[in-house]
Amino acid sequence: MRLLLLLCLLQVGLAQAIIESPDIAPDEFATNAQKERFKTLIQDLRCTVCQNQNLADSHASLAKDLRREILEMMQQGKTDAQITQHLVDRYGEFVLYKPRFERATYILWVGPFAALLLAVVGFVVLIRRRAAQPTHLSDADKQALTEELRRPPVSTSSPKK
């Protein structure tokens, strides 16, 4: 049991060392502003392999290649818009972590609000229908209820001594 625990801890340590190994060294940035610009760019772009991670969080080899490519384009003097457009041309709109508000992406932006609105409208309609439905008692149920209400209350307290 101890051996298994030790092996698990070693594996976690090795995995952490691999994850924290930087693929782009800090000395590759000319200024802190360039480093911050790079961080912003890779946070706004999606890893096409991981699909639910941005390039900053992904450890996939493609993400590392894309980070390297973005840095090279920055060093060539390209703007953020040019870099983003290059990646969109190459991988499609999916590479954008926050898609643009365009005809093809309306459903992504409007869909959640429309679904919420439909749910609220449906809930209100359901509540109103239930409130409008009269409760019907059969004659036998009415008779039993009347008899139950006419009975004297039964005392549940114990007699005092």
pLDDT digits (tens, 9 = 90+) for 103-140: 877 787 888 999 999 999 999 999 998 888 777 778 88
Residue 38 and residue 23: Cα distance in Å, rounded?
13
pTM, two decimals, is 0.54
Q: Which element (helix H / strand E) includes 129?
A: helix 106-132
Percent of the chain topping pLDDT 90: 20
Residue 117 and residue 121: Cα distance in Å, rounded?
6
Higher model confidence: residue 146 or residue 18? 146
The 3-class secondary structure across 37-90, one letter per residue, is HHHHHHHHEECCCCCCCECCCCCCHHHHHHHHHHHHHHHCCCCHHHHHHHHHHH
